[in-house]
Every structure is written in structure tokens, then in C-alpha cells.
């Protein structure tokens, strides 16, 4: 098979650019210390309801205007299903599922997690706009999926 001179030049040039890009990307990731997540937090899905901290789900104040939301996503709902925080609060979500795969999605934020039984999800978000935020399950999880929701109310300190 005959390859024309210009085709060969473009193939070699494209290959060299690709190799250079991968070397630069890999070097940058190594220098900056960017690595894929190396640890996965696990909990026994059979005993999650009796294992700390999921044996006492709720919203806990851990610092000035900083909270930890320990949540379980299960068939037919979330626990806790109502939380109230002040405006500007930072919430550290700690979430898992004891039964099947669920989702946790809060519209108008960047919170979007898959709750896999036995896997612990962590996410931090600062709520800078007052109002009521709906927590929805966005993974079909069986009968009752449509009723699976919770709310976070962000109070504006000026109106309180």
C-alpha cells in the first residue's frame, strides 16, 4: 500500500502532537500532585443503620456556619428528610444507601451523587442563596421512586 508524502507528514505530525500532549499532561499531573481518588470509604450495607455515623442521621453543627449532613437514601425516602441551615452555611454531606442504588441530586447546585450500597459519598457545598432546595433521587430505584425526596431550607439571616 502506497502512502503519499503529505499523508505521511500529517500522520507523523499528528502522532508527535498527541505524544507531546500526553507527556505534558502527565508531567503536569505529576508535578501538581493530581491523582485519581485512591481511597474509597466503605461500610457494610447490611449493618449501615447500626454503624456510626449512619446510626444517627441528621444535621450536625461542626463549626461556625459549618454543618455535617449525615444522610441515608433508602426505598421511599431520605433521612433526615428536612434540614434547615442559615444563609452562607457550608454543608459537608456524608451519604450512603442500605438497599439499592439511589441518586442524590439538588437542582440549581452542583450536588449530584450516586448512592451505591456500602459506598460512602462525601460532598461539600456552600449555600449562598436563600430558599428551599429539593433533594431528588435521579436513579430509578423501584416502586416509590417518585416519592423519594427531601428538602433543605436556607434561611436568610436578614429576615429572621
Which residues participate in catalysis according to the annotation? 74, 76
Calpha distance 64→84 (Å, rounded): 15
Task: Please provide residue 31's backbone torsions phi and psi, each rounded to the nearest 5 degrees.
Answer: -65, -45
Calpha distance 143→75 (Å, rounded): 8
DSSP assigned state of 45: T
Amino acid at each position: 500500500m502506497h502512502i503519499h508524502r503529505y499523508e505521511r507528514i500529517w500522520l507523523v505530525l499528528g502522532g508527535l502532537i498527541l505524544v507531546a500532549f500526553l507527556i505534558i499532561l502527565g508531567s503536569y499531573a505529576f508535578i501538581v500532585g493530581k491523582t485519581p481518588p485512591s481511597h474509597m470509604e466503605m461500610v457494610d450495607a447490611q449493618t449501615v443503620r447500626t454503624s456510626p455515623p449512619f446510626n444517627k442521621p441528621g444535621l450536625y453543627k461542626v463549626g461556625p456556619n459549618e454543618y455535617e449532613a449525615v444522610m441515608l437514601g433508602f426505598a421511599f425516602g431520605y433521612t433526615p428528610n428536612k434540614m434547615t441551615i442559615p444563609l452562607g452555611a457550608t454543608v459537608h454531606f456524608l451519604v450512603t444507601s442500605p438497599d439499592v442504588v439511589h441518586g442524590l441530586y439538588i437542582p440549581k447546585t452542583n450536588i449530584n451523587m450516586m448512592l451505591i450500597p456500602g459506598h460512602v459519598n462525601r460532598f461539600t457545598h456552600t449555600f449562598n442563596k436563600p430558599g428551599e432546595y429539593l433533594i431528588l433521587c435521579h436513579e430509578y430505584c423501584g416502586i416509590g421512586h417518585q416519592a423519594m425526596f427531601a428538602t433543605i431550607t436556607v434561611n436568610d439571616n436578614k429576615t429572621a
